[in-house]
Amino acid sequence: MADKIRETTIAASKPAPGEAGRTGDWRSHTPRIDHEKCSQKETCLLCWLYCPDGVISREFPLEIDLEYCKGCGICAEECPRKAITMVEGRQIEGDPDERR
């Protein structure tokens, strides 16, 4: 029995916001979601699945926690509808100086 358990043991990690610290201060690019291209009816949630920091919500409309998004662009690369665009800067909603 112990051998069987050992055979099925796998290494896995579970992404969680904050593993890389608050990235809002140093991110160089920011994902923007086009909510017309990504609707609840046609959802796939691949962005949520692939985000290494677990900062994309599963509820619609999708939201990205920009305090912890590091701007890697994986979500934009994986989105089959091209609904996510990476824009230059660390843009946070409501930040008057969003291109810092």
CA pair distance 26, 89, nearest whole angstrom = 9
Q: Which is nearer to ligand SF4, 43 or 98 (CB)?
A: 43
Q: Which is nearer to ligand SF4, 71 or 90 (CB)?
A: 71
What is the closest distance, in whole angstroms, from the C-beta atom of residue 93 to ligand SF4 in the complex? 14
Q: How far is the CB of 6 from ligand SF4 (least distance, A)?
A: 34
Q: Find out whether 54 and 16 touch, Cβ atoms under 8 Å.
A: yes
Q: Which residues bind ligand SF4 (CB under 6 A)?
A: 31, 33, 38, 43-47, 51, 53, 55-56, 62, 64, 69-75, 79, 81, 83-84
